[in-house]
Amino acid sequence: MPLAKGYKQLLAEARARIRTLTLEEAAARHGDPEVVFVDIRDVRELEREGMIPGAFHAPRGMLEFWVDPESPYYKEVFGSDKEFVLYCQSAWRSSLAAVTLQDMGLTRVSHVEGGFRAWKDAGLPVGEKPQHQR
C-alpha cells in the first residue's frame, strides 16, 4: 500500500511552516532566561551523548501530553511565555514536533538546524543528562 505522504514530504511541509535557527542563532539564545531549550530525544540518546546544558528533556512521545494543561502529564515549564527551542539528533523529529506545538497554539517555537549532532560537531557546550527534572 503506497503512503499518502512519506517522511520527506512531512518534513518539507513542517519546515515550510516553522522557524529554523542556525547554530549561531541557537548558540546566541543559549543561556537566555527567556528561552528554554527542549531536548526531545530518547533518554538513551541523552545518556549516551549528553545534552545541551540547561535543556529541558521532553521525550518526543510525551511532548503533546506535557504541553497540554488539560493532560494529567502537563509540565509547568510549557505554561510559561518563554521561547521554546526544540532539538533532536538530526532535526527531523524536532521539525515535526515544532509544527505540532504550533498547531497546539504555542507561537514562540523553533528548532535547531542540524540538531544535536550539528551542535556537538560545532564544539558548542555539551553536558551530561541531569539525574532528575520536573
- 87, 91, 79, 80: which is closest to 37 by C-alpha? 87
1 belongs to a structural domain: no
pLDDT over 70 at 28, yes or no: yes
pLDDT over 70 at 134, yes or no: no
88 belongs to a structural domain: yes
133 belongs to a structural domain: no
Residue 24 has what pLDDT? 98
pLDDT digits (tens, 9 = 90+) for 57-91: 999 999 999 999 999 999 999 999 999 999 999 99
Residue 133 has what pLDDT? 53
pLDDT digits (tens, 9 = 90+) for 96-112: 999 999 999 999 999 99
10 belongs to a structural domain: no
93 belongs to a structural domain: yes
pLDDT (mean) for 30-39: 97
94 belongs to a structural domain: yes
Interatomic CA distance for residues 62 and 23, integer angstroms: 26
CATH of the domain at 112: 3.40.250.10
Largest CA distance in the chain: 48
Structural Rg of the chain based on CA atoms: 14
Residue 103 has what pLDDT? 97
70 belongs to a structural domain: yes
Dihedral of CA atoms 90, 132, 59, 50 in degrees, nearest 10, equals: 10
**Model's pTM, two decimal places?**
0.94
Structural domain for 70, as ranges: 17-121
44 belongs to a structural domain: yes
pLDDT over 90 at 132, yes or no: no
Element (DSSP H or E) covering residue 27: helix 23-29
Q: What is the DSSP string of 65-103?
A: HHH-TTSTT--GGGGSS-EEEEE-SSSSHHHHHHHHHHH
Q: How many domains does the chain have?
A: 1
How sure is the predictor about 129, in pLDDT bands with cuts at 50, 70 and 90?
A: confident
Total Cβ atoms within 10 A of residue 59? 14
